[in-house]
Amino acid sequence: MSKIILGVSSSVSIYKSCEIIRSFQEKGYDVQVLMTKNASKFISPLLFKALTGNKVLMDLFNDGVSEDILHVTLAGEAVLFVIAPATANVIGKMASGISDDFLTTFYTAATCPVLVAPAMNEKMFLKGKTQDNIRKLQAAGVRFIEPEKGYLACGDHGYGRLAPVSGIVEEGVLLIRKSRSLKGMTVLVTGGPTREYLDSVRFLTNRSSGKMGFELAGESERRGAKTIFISGPGNLISNPGIKSVAVETAKEMKEQVEKYAGGSDIIIMAAAVCDFKFPKQISGKIKKDSMPLEVKLSRTEDILSEIGKNKGTKVVVGFAAEAKNTEENARKKLVKKNLDIIVANNISKKGIGFESDRNDVTIIHRDGKTIRTGEKSKLEISKIIMDEVEAVIGRKNR
Ligand code: CTP
């Protein structure tokens, strides 16, 4: 039986955790409860033990029995970690990497999808620090289910009530399904800019933070795919579940893409590959007086076009950075490069895209189906793109 780990912290809405347990059990899951010490002041662990048939875990060191590695064992078994209700304190600890009880230590060890359902007073929920912590965790792939407006335990009427049990359970089951949807597949994602050097200190590059590729690689990994992320220079922290390959030049990126493309089922070229290079890279630093002011450039190879030529049954996704006629130009690139999907970016929109966590893209399929995402976080956009990739896989397998 698949195991769901339910983290319970000290909010008045803790009584709803019992219903969450029952609903997951009705769907065939085994539930293991982890409680904070304060939560046990509201409800005795005995009730959760009676409901689940599993001993409730609270401390790392209990009854002289070594539970200190149990979090690692459990992490290997869990298909989902739900924290409901989640207090501001638990969210803060998770965001800061504090692991001082079983629940927070388990989060640090967990590799399964994580769903957090906050419940607290409205002022606490809307506080800048709480929102910062939520954003930080969202950026790390944690899914949040927003609290509702209504009567709060403190007597206030406001935002902060635990989301409905049915919503939490549905979202949890969806996360589990998604976390397996690409199991058995290999996904190759590229991201970031490339650099084409003139000498050892000067280079030509494209504006790109690499965040879009990074989010796509993360989403692919969360869906269970073996994921390879080939990225140009950037300062994104790598995810231990993803094979990361760092490159600098378009030539290096091409070599690495070719190395992994054969074994990949899905290739997503989100990298902003520099189209031009200097005829030859000079080692050392050219003295400015000896540098001619006109430099001849040559073209780098188009990696995606090469992939498109021999794509076979692979699903190939390209990006298009366009300053005008975005969708029309993107469609032309889709045909020219023989792609299944192209993601069109209108680079003239201010405040999104480059170096931003947000974007607004149009996803165009080969058959013309077009999805306009509207402005969203790159994480959300990566999910929409991966859903569309899965739709192509579904069509190919029909
Ligand atoms: N691309 C590539 N190799 C290159 C240039 C681009 O693989 N040398 C890929 C990008 O990763 C992207 C797609 O091709 O997925 C389109 O890139 P874009 O810069 O929008 O278009 P270009 O083909 O370079 O054409 P143009 O610059 O004229 O718009």
Residues 312-341 have pLDDT tens digits of: 999 999 999 999 999 999 999 999 999 999
* Fold agreement (3-179, 186-396): yes
- CA 234-301-310 angle, to 5 degrees, is 105
- Residue 67: the pLDDT is 55
pTM (2 d.p.): 0.84
Residue of 190, 253, 269 to test ligand 1 pocket, by largest number of atoms within 8 Å of CB: 269
Q: Compute the distance from residue 269 Cα to the ligand 1 centre, in Å.
A: 9
385 vs 342: CA distance, rounded Å? 10
Q: Is 18 a catalytic residue?
A: no
Residues in the chain predicted with pLDDT less than 50, given as ranges, are none
Residue 318 near ligand 1, beta carbon < 6 Å: yes
Mean pLDDT, the chain, rounded, equals 93
Looking at domain 3-179, its CATH architecture is 3-Layer(aba) Sandwich (3.40)
- Residue 165: the pLDDT is 98
Within 10 angstroms of residue 200's Cβ, the number of other Cβ atoms is: 12
Ligand 1 atom closest to 317 (CA): 15
Query: Can you list the alpha helix ranges (DSSP code H) found in the chain?
Result: 16-26, 39-42, 45-52, 70-77, 88-96, 102-109, 122-126, 128-139, 165-180, 211-222, 250-261, 303-309, 326-336, 378-396
Residue with tokens 């790392």: 60
- Residue 349: the pLDDT is 80
Residue extents of the structural domains in the chain: 3-179, 186-396
Ligand 1 atom closest to 272 (CA): 11
Residue 317 near ligand 1, beta carbon < 6 Å: no
CATH number of 186-396: 3.40.50.10300
